[in-house]
């Protein structure tokens, strides 16, 4: 049974008809007191709750009701309904334990997607959409057998068939893009478009044109119509990489399309509807950015319904030998080279390195040594003599404990620029980021070249 709580009789009737047509049992009430009686006496599978109704006669407020519901039925997902102008109230509701929020007036298709996602993710294990077996699971080329990866695969099996937005976090070079592809390949949208966008490479001035498209003549250089990335991804999945790189103005525009699944093409005031599953990735600490007011709190709650954290390579060292063999095999096959063998000492040496650039750094290191060492068997010394760690000065090392993450990141860039004589391609490669991201960080931190 789905419980509707709203003091507007027209909304209660509309939602009841919509949900019954979709095959759900429904109960609708108008007041918080009635709602709590139903919550105590029955076990609703999901609650749709308005946050903006007048509760003066009961002496209760929407947030108070939500907290009472979650206290009594913490396992029941609650979807909040609120006006666009009351998004801040919805964010407070998410902090209080709500599963999701949707703005009025809603789109029926979008509302039903949110409801089905909530029901699927909170279904009992014996009726889960996903399976615990490897049968039919597409790893998307991810190599590794560590417990951390197996736990991530288990999560992907469960959430991939839903429409839930996914946020993938982890350091640069850990393989977040492959995790996003695994979500896509195991989803019900796997035969639909998959559009990847590196937000770190999209400038603020071109953001709307790149993401939403433009009409011919919309601005000086608009010589023809352009389809935006969201329209390209319609009915499929869009992967938004480096989400933390968005400035505040672009975050506002992004929130609107993620919330309403509508957007306006530059030069055309008519709203366009789009049906996309959103997967985001970032190496930034978004909760910290929310605290510092550099990332919108409402956007954060919109994208992080499901969070997958990908640990750094140093926390899953058992995957390193498998990755080494994988990278070596593909390099030899691609370049017509004979297969090589790694001694135990070589694998032990490789497994003990710090890898601040994670898998990207390991891949670069292994391929570089294979190309310069013409030997059938590689030992630890072959790798030791070619290892080039990014140095940190003793002063910097001593100061690390008292530095913020941004200060540590800035120092690492400065040290790498000094080490490699400001060769930006090499610095980006060593740090495990793209040239575009390096440029943005140099500008962000005010580093002089």
Output the pLDDT for position 82: 81
pLDDT at 392 over 70: no
Output the pLDDT for position 312: 93
Lowest mean pLDDT among 5-14, 318-327, 440-449: 440-449
Q: What is the DSSP letter of 423?
A: -
Q: Is 160 helix (H, G, I), strand (E, B) or coil?
A: coil
What mean pLDDT is predicted for residues 322-351? 92
Selected residue with higher pLDDT from 437 and 177: 177
Q: Is 3 helix (H, G, I), strand (E, B) or coil?
A: strand
**What end-to-end distance do the CA atoms of the chain give, in Å?**
63
pLDDT at 52 over 50: yes
- Reported as a pLDDT band with limits 50, 70 and 90, residue 401 is low
H-assigned helices in 25-129: 32-41, 62-72, 87-95, 108-121
Q: Are 110 and 302 in contact (CB under 8 A)?
A: no
């Amino acid at each position: 049974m789905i419980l509707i709580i709203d003091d507007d009789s027209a909304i209660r009737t509309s939602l009841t008809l919509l949900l019954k047509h979709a095959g759900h049992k429904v109960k609708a009430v108008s007041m918080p007191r009635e709602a709590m009686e139903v919550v105590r006496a029955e076990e609703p599978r999901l609650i749709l709750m308005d946050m903006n109704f007048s509760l003066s006669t009961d002496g209760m407020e929407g947030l108070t009701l939500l907290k009472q519901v979650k206290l009594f039925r913490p396992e029941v997902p609650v979807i909040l309904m609120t006006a666009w102008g009351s998004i801040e109230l919805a964010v407070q509701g998410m902090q209080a334990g709500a599963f999701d929020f949707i703005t009025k007036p809603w789109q029926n298709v979008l509302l039903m997607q949110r409801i089905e996602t909530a029901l699927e993710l909170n279904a009992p294990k014996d009726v889960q959409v996903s399976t615990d077996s490897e049968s039919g699971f597409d790893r998307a080329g991810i190599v590794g057998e560590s417990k951390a990866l197996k736990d991530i695969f288990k999560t992907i099996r469960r959430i991939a068939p839903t429409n839930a937005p996914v946020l993938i976090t982890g350091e640069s070079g850990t393989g977040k893009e492959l995790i996003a592809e695994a979500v896509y390949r195991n989803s019900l949208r796997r035969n639909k478009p998959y559009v990847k966008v590196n937000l770190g490479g999209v400038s603020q001035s071109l953001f709307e044109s790149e993401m939403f498209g433009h009409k011919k003549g919309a601005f000086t250089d608009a010589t023809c119509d352009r389809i935006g990335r969201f329209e390209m991804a319609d009915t499929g999945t869009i992967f938004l990489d480096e989400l933390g790189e968005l400035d505040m103005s672009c975050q506002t525009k992004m929130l609107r399309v993620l919330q309403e699944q509508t957007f306006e093409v530059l030069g055309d005031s008519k709203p366009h509807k789009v049906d996309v599953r959103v997967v985001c990735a970032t190496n930034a600490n978004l909760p910290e950015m929310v605290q510092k007011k550099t990332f919108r709190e409402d956007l954060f709650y919109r994208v992080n319904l499901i969070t997958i954290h990908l640990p750094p390579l140093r926390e899953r060292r058992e995957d390193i030998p498998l990755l080494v063999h994988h990278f070596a095999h593909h390099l030899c096959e691609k370049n017509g080279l004979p297969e090589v063998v790694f001694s135990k000492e070589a694998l032990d040496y490789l497994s003990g390195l710090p890898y601040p650039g994670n898998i990207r750094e390991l891949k670069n290191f292994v391929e570089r040594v294979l190309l310069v060492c013409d030997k059938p068997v590689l030992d630890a010394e072959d790798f030791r003599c070619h290892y080039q760690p990014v140095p940190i000065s003793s002063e910097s090392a001593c100061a690390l404990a008292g530095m913020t993450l941004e200060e540590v990141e800035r120092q690492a860039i400065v040290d790498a620029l000094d080490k490699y004589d400001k060769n930006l391609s090499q610095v980006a490669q060593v740090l495990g980021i793209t040239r575009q991201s390096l440029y943005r960080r140099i500008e962000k931190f005010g580093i002089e070249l």
